[in-house]
């Protein structure tokens, strides 16, 4: 089974577009972890066509807030609808389904993995505008690492952790269906 864990950083912000629609934004970079090659890669807005063949051979797309933000933004650049072509596991959606509320990636990473994000998306946008593209790509790759590690932890332990005040609590998750795929192969081209 080929799994792609991914994250997107944008080159602009909602307050600049006057909309809260993810498709109103522009992609700075998309970073992925490919389970088939066990490698991390990055794609800029200009090289997104190199990403489509990878997604075409993907069984599961894994992200954090990806169903609400990342996939709609990718769909802006793609000539179809990725929600109809790929199975998606959105860890934020899974957490909200169990806990009844949303938590930040940094909150889950700190409690579950014992490490935090290296920055935040707003700072990454500033870096991009300042021409610090490699810094943004490395930040995005680190978010992909955290998302991948949280996914792997949840699959193994069937929960993630968060802090409620000083108390460390579990968020029970059911990953039993996360890696089941339909019997119908994805034969449609994404290009």
pLDDT digits (tens, 9 = 90+) for 65-106: 999 999 999 999 998 788 888 899 999 999 999 999 999 999
Task: Give the tens place of pLDDT for each residue, 47-69.
Answer: 999 999 999 899 999 999 999 99
CATH assignment at residue 146: 3.30.420.10
Residues 139 and 128: their CA atoms lie apart, in Å, by 11
Enclosing domain of residue 40: 3-176
Residues 31 and 139: their CA atoms lie apart, in Å, by 10
Query: Is residue 188 included in any domain, yes or no?
Result: no
Instruction: Lowest mean pLDDT of 89-98, 118-127, 153-162, name the range.
Output: 118-127
- Considering its fold, how many domains does the chain have in total? 1
Query: Is residue 185 included in any domain, yes or no?
Result: no
Query: Is residue 184 included in any domain, yes or no?
Result: no
Residue 183 token pair: 């019997």
Query: Is residue 189 included in any domain, yes or no?
Result: no
Host H or E run for residue 95: helix 91-99
Residues 62 and 127: their CA atoms lie apart, in Å, by 25
Query: Is residue 187 included in any domain, yes or no?
Result: no
Query: Is residue 114 included in any domain, yes or no?
Result: yes
Predicted TM-score of the model (pTM): 0.92
Query: Is residue 26 included in any domain, yes or no?
Result: yes
Query: Is residue 128 included in any domain, yes or no?
Result: yes
């Amino acid at each position: 089974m080929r799994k792609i864990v991914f994250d997107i950083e944008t080159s602009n912000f909602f307050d600049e577009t006057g909309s809260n629609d993810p498709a109103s934004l522009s992609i700075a970079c998309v970073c992925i972890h490919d389970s088939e090659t066990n490698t991390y890669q990055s794609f800029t807005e200009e090289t997104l066509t190199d990403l489509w063949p990878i997604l075409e051979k993907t069984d599961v797309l894994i992200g954090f807030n990806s169903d609400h933000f990342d996939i709609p933004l990718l769909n802006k650049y793609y000539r179809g609808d990725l929600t109809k072509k790929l199975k998606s596991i959105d860890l934020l959606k899974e957490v909200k389904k169990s806990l009844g509320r949303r938590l930040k990636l940094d909150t889950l990473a700190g409690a579950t993995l014992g490490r935090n994000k290296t920055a935040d998306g707003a700072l990454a946008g500033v870096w991009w505008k300042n021409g610090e593209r490699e810094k943004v790509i490395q930040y995005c790759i680190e978010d992909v690492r955290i998302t991948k590690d949280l996914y792997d932890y949840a699959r193994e332990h069937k929960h993630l952790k968060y802090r409620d005040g000083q108390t460390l609590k579990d968020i029970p998750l059911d990953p039993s269906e996360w890696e089941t795929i339909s019997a119908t192969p994805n034969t449609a081209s994404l290009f």
